[in-house]
Every structure is written in structure tokens, then in C-alpha cells.
Amino acid sequence: MSQELSIEELEKRFQEKIDAEIKIEPNDWMPDDYRKTLIRQISQHAHSEIVGMLPEGNWITRAPSLRRKAVLLAKVQDEAGHGLYLYSAAETLGADREETIDDLHSGKAKYSSIFNYPTLSWADMGTIGWLVDGAAIMNQVPLCRCSYGPYARAMVRVCKEESFHQRQGFEIVTKLAQGTPEQKEMAQDSLNRWWWPSLMMFGPSDADSQHTAQSMKWKIKRNTNDDLRQQFVDITVPQAELIGLTIPDPDLKWNEERQSYDFGEINWDEFNQVIRGNGPCNKKRIEDRRNAKENGKWVREAALAHAEKRKMKKAV
Amino acid sequence: MSQAEWPLFEVFIRSKNGLNHKHVGSLRAADEEMAIQNARDVYTRRSEGVSIWVVQSSLITASDPQDADALFEPADSKIYRHPTFYDVPDGISHM
Ligand SMILES: [Fe+2]
Ligand SMILES: [Fe+2]
């Protein structure tokens, strides 16, 4: 029925589909590298959602009010959901769930460098929602149009949920910025610590990004790292100004000609160090994830044994 | 290791009465009951549903995308199955 096509012909047809904005679905033919690139990107994304729960989880028991606590819990629960949508999307490409997670635990797989910074004050809960979720939204909105169907659909769900994350964070920062001098100081200190790591979230500069060109051709990515970073700066600077906080960048200034902000040089050395595992919390994060898996093992096994037993009973 | 892996389930949600259940994604669970519980937590945190179906992914039979032409092309040539194929004289209404 289906005549044997050469790889070149299959690749050509594949690219034509992509160019025509036809989504690729799990059982469709796809080049090995497309599959590999997606598995790498989606699982990294999933890991980031899961590891991203840890810095915020640090403050759940110390939230300053019941309202803040309920909100933070709901937010962190959402992140667990995001991780799950994404692991499921990776599985549609043939990635093994357990292997994917083991790759995180062995240090083989990466996750967003931002989550290797510590959450030192309550203000960090605000700043993370505002900047980190803000940057995540900027990255994720274009992914809703990603050429791979299951990833795009997962991103649509994620993006719907993210806007509450950013708003609750901005609300916390705003309250602190308008509070006592000590509270305002706390908000400013938090912004000082998170600003640059947030800009690094968009990844290496386009000139140094190995995957960008091919990913754009395959419509996995729609914008370059530098593009998105610039958009983020342009959107965020006026927000900081409005609540009376100062972006910790002496080189930041409006460029009339470009209708955009110029900003200072990112410390790529720091970025590379954190990516390589030498950030302030890398070891702790992986250790926490490993322990969670190890300590929950008996529960997963018991649930399976219980399910098995019930099936036997029903069969009798 | 893979021996301890929970099976994969596909999740379908009816967003409100009067509408079909629609595929929303998948998850892993030890059994059907847990799959429903997990689906509630993962896919209906914001009142997205009033009813959930779960089915083990391995039980689904899917058509092969390679056969798409053979399966679906015959319908493309049968345009007379659509009302727009027919000429209706001016002045005729309710048709
Ligand atoms: Fe998220
Ligand atoms: Fe989020």
C-alpha cells in the first residue's frame, strides 16, 4: 500500500508539512534528529517544572498568611502538573519515563539554571512569580505553536495556568515595595539577586546557541533566545519602575532608535558554571529529587501490588 | 526497574453535560481508580470537567498514519455528499 520512500523523500515531505504549518503527531514519520531534539527539550522542560517546585516549596510552611499559603500551594501544585504534561509529551516520542527521570538524577539531563539559586526571603516568592514565571511565559507562549502536536497542546494548558503565577508573584512584590522601608528593602534585595539569573533563563546568546537554527527550521522554536530576552526586558523594566524598584543594571537605558532597552553584559561565566553543576544549590536540588524518588519507592510498589491483588480478586 | 512502572492511561474529559468527552492527555497510575483520582488532580484543577474517562493506552488501537491516504482519500472525491454540491433554483427557501 505505502510504497517505500527514500529518507530524502521522507525528509522533504516532512519539511513541507512543517512549512505548511501542519502539526506532527506521535505516529507520523519524523527525522531521528527531530525526535531527539524534542525529547531533549521536552524532558529538560519537564525537569525544570519539577525541580522548580523546590525553591518555592521552601517557603510554603512559612507563608505570612493563610491566603498566601493557599496561593503558593496552588502554584506549586500547578508546576507538578506542568511537569506531568511534559513527561507525557516526551513519552509520546518513545522516551521512557523512568529513564528520563533517572537522567535528571544522574546529572546527565539539564534543567533551567534559575532553580539552582536559593530562596533567602519571602520576597523571593514574589520575585520568582514575577520574573521567573514571567520569563517562562515569554518562552512558552511561542511554544504553543510548536510543530509537534502533543508539546504544543501541553503548552496551551501550561500557558493558561502561568498567568496566575506571575500575577500572584507581582502582587507579593508590589505589597512589599509599598510597605515599610524594611519590606521595600527586602523586595529590592530580592530583585537584585534574581534579575540577572532571570535574563539567563533565555539561554545562551544566539551567536553561541548550537540548536537555534535547526530548531527554528523545524518550528520547534519560533524566536531566538536574544529576541525573547529583549522582549522580557522591555516588558519588565516599566513594571519595576511603576512599583518603585530599581533594576540592578547601571547600563540599562532606553534606546530611542531601537524603541527598546539597551542592557548590560550578562555574566556568561556564571551561567556556564551553574549549568555545569556549580551553582549555589545544584547538589541540593538533585539530592532532594533523588530522595523523593527513593523514599517514595515503597509507596509506588505497594500501590502496584494492591492493584494486582484487586485484579486477581475480580477475576475469580 | 521498568517492572515497577505504573501503566499509562489516556484521559478524556467531558467539560460540561451536552458535550463529548475529549482527549486531554495521559498519565501513569497503578490502576483505573487511581487514574481517575490523578486525572482529577492533573486535568481538572480549574473546573475543566464534570466527567472523566480513563483507558489504558495499550488497549487503544490506532490507524496508521501511513494508511491515511487509503483510508481517507476516497471521501475527498465524493463531493456529492455535501449539500453545496447541488444547485437550488432561486426563490426556493427552507432547503
Ligand atoms: Fe510551570
Ligand atoms: Fe509557573
Instruction: Tell me whether B78 touches chain A (CB under 8 Å).
Output: no
Mean pLDDT of all residues in chain A? 95
- Helices (H) and strands (E) counted in chain B, each on its own, are 2, 3
**Residue A1 pLDDT > 60:** no
CB–CB of A221/A142 below 8 Å?
A: yes
* pLDDT, average across residues A119-128: 98
Q: Measured in angstroms, how far is the CA atom of residue A165 from the centroid of ligand 2?
A: 5
Do the Cβ atoms of B33 and B25 come closer than 8 Å?
no
Q: What integer pLDDT is reported at residue A88 of this predicted model?
A: 95
Report helix, strand or coil for A208.
helix
Q: What is the pLDDT of residue A150?
A: 97
Contact A301 B2 (CB under 8 A): no
pLDDT tens digits along A161-211: 998 999 999 999 999 999 999 999 999 999 999 999 999 999 999 888 878
pLDDT band at B2 (very low <50, low <70, confident <90, very high): very low
Q: What is the pLDDT of residues A27-43, one digit of tens each?
A: 999 999 999 999 999 99
* Closest ligand to the CA of A84: 1
Q: Which of A153, A157, A304 sits opposite B4 (nearest CB)?
A: A304
Which one of A13, A25, A85 makes the best mutation probe of the B interface by having the most chain B beta carbons within 10 Å?
Answer: A85
> Closest Cα to residue A162, out of A58, A49, A295, A274?
A49
pLDDT bracket for residue B75 (50, 70, 90) = confident
pLDDT confidence of residue A137: 96
Q: Which residues, in sequence order, are CB contacts of B42 under 8 Å at separation 6+?
A: A81, A84, A85, B11, B25, B27
Considering the domain delimited by B3-81, tell me its CATH architecture.
Roll (3.10)
Touching check for B66 and chain A: CB below 8 Å? yes
SS (H, E, C) A49-63: HHHCHHHHHCCHHHC
Between CA A7 and CA A34 the distance in angstroms is 14
**Residue B50 DSSP class:** S
User: Which residue is closest to B41 within chain A, CA to CA?
Assistant: A81
Angstrom distance (rounded) from CA A238 to CA A249: 14
A259: left (phi over 0), alpha (psi -120 to 50) or beta: left
Instruction: With CB atoms and an 8 Å threshold, state whether A303 touches B26.
Output: no
Nearest-CA residue of chain A relative to B39? A81
Nearest CA in chain A to B38: A81
Residue pair A44/A109 in contact by the 8 Å Cβ criterion: yes
Question: Poorest-confidence range of A63-67, A158-162, A283-287, A310-314?
Answer: A310-314
Residue pairs between chains A and B whose CB atoms are closer than 8 Å:
59
Tell me the per-residue pLDDT of A242-267, one tens digit each, with 9 for 90 and over. 999 999 999 999 999 999 999 999 99
Indicate the pLDDT class of residue A3, thresholds 50, 70 and 90.
low
- Residue B56 has, within 13 A of its CA and on its CB side, a CA count of 9
| Chain A nearest C-alpha distance from B21 (Å) | 17
Looking at the complex, report in whole angstroms how far the Cα of residue B36 sits from the nearest Cα belonging to chain A.
14
Residue A136: strand, helix, or coil: helix
Give the other-Cβ count within 10 Å of A309's Cβ: 10
Closest approach of B26 to chain A, Cα-based (Å): 6
In three-state secondary structure terms, A163 is helix
Distance CA A144, CA A137 (A): 11
Determine which helix (DSSP H) or strand (DSSP E) holds A182, and give its type and residue range. helix A181-200
Which ipTM was obtained for this model?
0.88
Å between B91 CA and nearest CA of chain A? 41
Q: What is the DSSP letter of A24?
A: B
